[in-house]
Structure formats: structure tokens, C-alpha cells
Chains A and B, each alone.
Chain A
Amino acid sequence: MAKKKGQTIVKIYQDWCKGCGICVTFCPSGVLRFNNQGKAEVAHEEECINCGFCEVHCPDFAILVQPKNETGSRKNQTESMKVPASAEDSMNPSNEEIS
């Protein structure tokens, strides 16, 4: 767990965020902020120290913090975890199809 800044990618699934503000308030380096819809968004990704607080304390599993330098399968992982945009669709972030 490197404490250097700017080593991570922070992603927020807007569809799952309820805007409770835990991540925004308790982030030690002010990475996140509210957008105009009242949900969390990433403002200063370069400030992230990868403490992982927001990831484990998000009640809605909406935050993903990943190291940048794991180049191998990182892109695929984040792509496969994207939540479908259509709200009525059953949420299926992983690529494994559920019949």
C-alpha cells in the first residue's frame, strides 16, 4: 500500500451512489466532491494516497480504488465492472452472464 500520491485510479459508479457523503467528508486528501446531482465524483485524483478508506466504507459498493501501475488486466477489470447505463437493466457489473 504505497502512500505516494497519484498512484491510483479512483472510479465511482454514479448509478449506485446515493450521495451519503461519507467518502467526501472523510477522505484524508480531499480527492472527492459532490457533483450537481448530489453524488460523489472524483475531483483531484492525483491527490489520492491509496488509503482505501472510501472503498471499504462505501455502503453502496460504488467506489473502486486501483493502483495505476498494475497494467496487466487493469483496463479489462474496470471495463468489465462498468454498470450498465440503463436503470431498468438488472445490475451486472461482471461479465459473467446470469441467465
Chain B
Amino acid sequence: MAKVTQLIHNYLRHTKKFPHVFCPGCGHGIVLGSLIRSVHAQGIPKDDIVLVAGIGCSGRIPVYVDFNTVHTTHGRALTFATGIKLANPKLKVIVIMGDGDAMSIGGNHLMHSARRNIGLTALVLNNHIYGMTGGQSSSTTPFGCYSTTTPFGQMEKEFDIAEITKACGANFVARATVMQANLMDRLISTALINPGFNLVEVITPCHTQFGRKNKYKTTVDMYKWLKKNATPIEKYVDMPPEKKKEVVSTGVFSHKDCAGLEERYAQMRQNLNGGAA
């Protein structure tokens, strides 16, 4: 078990200010650690990785890691990543988005990236709230939860990111919570090597903006809730519907290995050139 932290330190930009900017107990740090471990486990060189992030708390993650990093406009991380991947298909492009980034303003891009099946690895860090801008309710805020803009409870139903992406035809769709770091390592590792569009949704608690308004007294209470209610998808499908609302399903939702858009594009070019590269 040793050397895990040592390994993470090798990938950090030590010219940046540490400890990092996230609130105490924010799960984003755990996801960052998991991403670094997965990249290391797959043996991908630092220079072959492009980390693209949008706006939000999750947009701070690329600042700290020593990959090629792009910090893009709100919701358009996937479009930048699509351009990078098509311009140089040899690069491993990882997109880090928050829930507001992925589902609200960039929801369209997420759906179409999944439909196109372009070879990206998308990490959606779902904290159920717009954390950075002051805790407004987002499109993934669960029904009935409180936030700055829904002081009497959210009246709209929430998005299920994994199910939407699966329905749009993504190759690999999975979900984990930050309490399951080992599962998260496995899922992100798979998402890195699988061809086509791979999405891993990570449920990460935001105590500062979400927890305090929803009867979680401490950060640790949110982690306890995650630990108690994370259910493997195999068990989840057999549960009665009223129980399904209270738990979080985790695991692999969809796993295919169709060729990505960039492979099909290269193939098409070759065909049109009469077999020459």
C-alpha cells in the first residue's frame, strides 16, 4: 500500500500552492488521486495525456497536475476535447466536468459526444449543486433537496447522468462514489483504455454548499451516507422502486468496444485515398 502518496506527488505541479483550493472534505481531491493512480497503472506517459476541464470546482483540478492541460469555457470542455482528439488521435484526452458543466450548459455536447462515440474519457464529478457560484440548484439536485435557489425544496426531478449517457450510446458508462476509491480506480483505468466515448460519473459530496442545507452536520456525515447507500448495480435492479430512490447505484452500466469516431475517420480517409495512408 505504500508509495501511493509518493506516486501522486510525482504527478503534481509543485510550483502551485498546496494544499489545494478545495474545501475540507471535498471529494474532488480523491478523484484527482484516483485519476493519477489510474494513469500510472496504465503506464501512459505524462506528455500523451491532455486534461480538459470546464468551469466550476472541477475546473480547478487540471491546475495541479503535470499533464497537458486546458481550462476551457463553461460547458464546452467536450467540444475542445473533440477538436484535440481529431487533430491528434494519438493523445489520450480526459475531460473533467462538473454536473452543471456536463448536464446543464453542456448537456447537448455530452449527448452528442456520446452519440458520436468519439474517443474521449469523460469524468463527471457530480456534487448535486453549483458549488463555486454559491450553491444554486443544478439539474442534478435531487427532488426535494434544499439549495440557495430552492429554499423550500427542489420541485424539479433530477437527471441521471449515467442513464442518459448510456441511452445516447456511449461505449463505457459507469458510476462510483468517492467512498469507493478502489472501484473508482478500476473504472477510470477501464475508461482510459477502452475505445470510444467512456464516461465515469463520480458522486462527490459538497458539504459547504449542499450538505449544510440538507441536514448533514459534518462532512463526514455525507461520506457515511455514501458508504451506507452505495449499491452495486446488480443488486440495484432487483430492488423495489420505493427503495431505489434512497440509494445510489454504482458499477458498470454499459460496456461495449465499438470503434471510436477518430478510428472510423482514419479508416474513411484511407478508403478515399485508395488504400494509401
Contacts and interface: CB of A to CB of B under 8 A. Distances in A.
A66 B27 CA distance: 24
A22 interface: yes
B95 to A, nearest CB: 21
Nearest to B13: A98
A19 to B, nearest CB: 6
Contacts of A64: 2, 5-6
A61 B25 contact: no
B19 interface: yes
Contacts of A35: none
A65 B26 contact: no
Given A20-B25, A81-B6, A60 B220 contact: no
B1 A20 contact: no
Nearest to A63: B5
Interface residues of B, number: 40
Contacts of A8: 1-2
Interface string A58-70: 1111111111001
A91 to B, nearest CB: 4
Contacts of A65: 1-2, 4
Contact of B219 (A22, A60, A81, A90): A22
Interface in B1-40: 1-6, 8-10, 12, 14-20, 22-30, 33-34, 37
Interface string A11-53: 0000111111110011000000000000000000000001110
Interface residues of A, number: 37
Contacts of B182: 56
A8 to B, nearest CB: 8
Most buried by A among B16, B18, B37: B18
Given A21-B218, A52-B1, A91-B16, 10 more contacts: A18-B24, A20-B220, A25-B223, A56-B37, A59-B22, A59-B25, A61-B12, A90-B17, A91-B17, A94-B9
15 contacts: A16-B19, A19-B24, A21-B219, A26-B223, A56-B37, A56-B181, A59-B26, A59-B29, A60-B19, A61-B33, A63-B5, A64-B2, A64-B5, A64-B6, A67-B1
Interface of B: 1-6, 8-10, 12, 14-20, 22-30, 33-34, 37, 178-179, 181-182, 185, 218-220, 223-224, 227
